[in-house]
Amino acid sequence: MEKQIVGTRQFAVLVLFFIIGDMLWFLPSFMVNAAEQDAWISALIGLPIGLLAAWFLFHFADQFPGMSLVEINWKVLGKWLGSVLTILYLIAFFTVSAVQVREVSDFITSQMMTETPLRAISMLMTIIVMLGVWSGIETFARTGEIFILLFVFMFLLLIVMLLPQAKVENLLPMMRHSFASMAEGVVYYISYSFLEMYVFLMIFPYVKRTAHLFRDYMLSVLLGGLAIFLIVTISLLVLGPFLSKFHLFATYTLAKKISLGGFLDRLEAILVVNFILSTYFKATLFAFAFVMGLTRMFKLKDHRILTFPVGLMIFGYSYLVSPNIVVLNSITPAWSLWDMTNNPVILVLIYLIHKLRSRKQQGNGA
């Protein structure tokens, strides 16, 4: 595993898939519920904040070259306290991966295959996630490189084919809501995509350092943020704030509205591939981070011995994490706070402790 290397372009593709991730499923609904027709303004405000968060994460990783989050915690906080903090992050990796699997299962069983048992879809999704973990980060990254063109084409197809149905009056009146409502929309925008990028602290050790790495990384973050902004805006323009608020899977509803000339209809089943694809990559990255965290923490020689038991754990927890999708979505505000605690609060504290110790050592040396 230590010999596997992810190229700059492959890493950029993984970042793009991660940022979009499961945001295509539910983010328009959450943001419109907070800011209604001003949700697109919240997304526009959140974009530079998300870019700042991504920049900090890259700068943070640069302070500890070749180290994963496990080694960083040990170096800065010591063996015992660092291990405790690592366990908290491992819980986050595991939980997010299981929730991603649950989201795909809830969508398919509630929108497309209503008579299919939830556990059947969860099992199929878990199997392909763990196959990605088993194959290793290099193979997984190359897979993303293969699918990225299909993903971009289908995403642009969705946007372009919905433009004839867009109504600018759905965005009026602008700036109607309070600062608190728009700030809530900003928090939703940055939390589930940009702030959850702390998972890449387990990926950076395998990334090949090149002169253009930072540029390509930030470009992928920017494109991912713009994609989320577009999907929120097109949801408002086509569905309006009322329907966008009450349709949990607003993008799927948008896809069902595509109709050109009476002969090009019912494209939502094809476009669902895009939704599942981006969610799959995000789920696999978190599952990989969890497995590699355990491997490094317990100094195991091969991460693959953990894939089967971890797969069973993810499958079981994805079914038990919530009784239904309504309860799962009700914890959205608390989940945002959890993301903000993991990144940037804890990471900033680690960064400050590291800097203070470095200055102290330099002063003693002098």
Q: Tens digits of per-residue pLDDT, 20-73?
A: 988 877 888 889 888 888 999 999 999 999 999 999 999 999 999 989 999 999
pLDDT tens, position by position, 171-186 = 888 887 788 888 999 9
Q: How far is it, in rounded angstroms, from Cα 28 to Cα 152?
A: 19
CB 31 within 8 A of CB 185: yes
Query: In terms of pLDDT, which residue wins out, 86 or 328?
Result: 86
Q: Return phi, psi of residue 5, to 5°.
A: -130, 135
Q: What pLDDT is stored for residue 2 in this prediction?
A: 57
Token pair of 12 as six digits: 């950029």
CA distances 250 to 126, 157, 246, 338, Å, are: 25, 16, 8, 25
CB 132 within 8 A of CB 312: no
Read off the pTM.
0.94
Name the CA radius of gyration of the chain, rounded.
21
Beta bridge partners of 264: 260
| Residue 265, amino acid | D
CB 205 within 8 A of CB 64: no
CATH topology classification for 8-365: Hydantoin permease (1.10.4160)
Residue positions counted in the chain? 366
Q: Which of 103, 122, 93, 58 is nearest to 286 (CA)?
A: 93
Range with lowest mean pLDDT among 178-182, 233-237, 310-314: 178-182
Please name the residues in contact with 37: beta carbons below 8 A apart, sequence gap of 6 or more: 170, 171, 172, 173, 174, 176, 236, 241
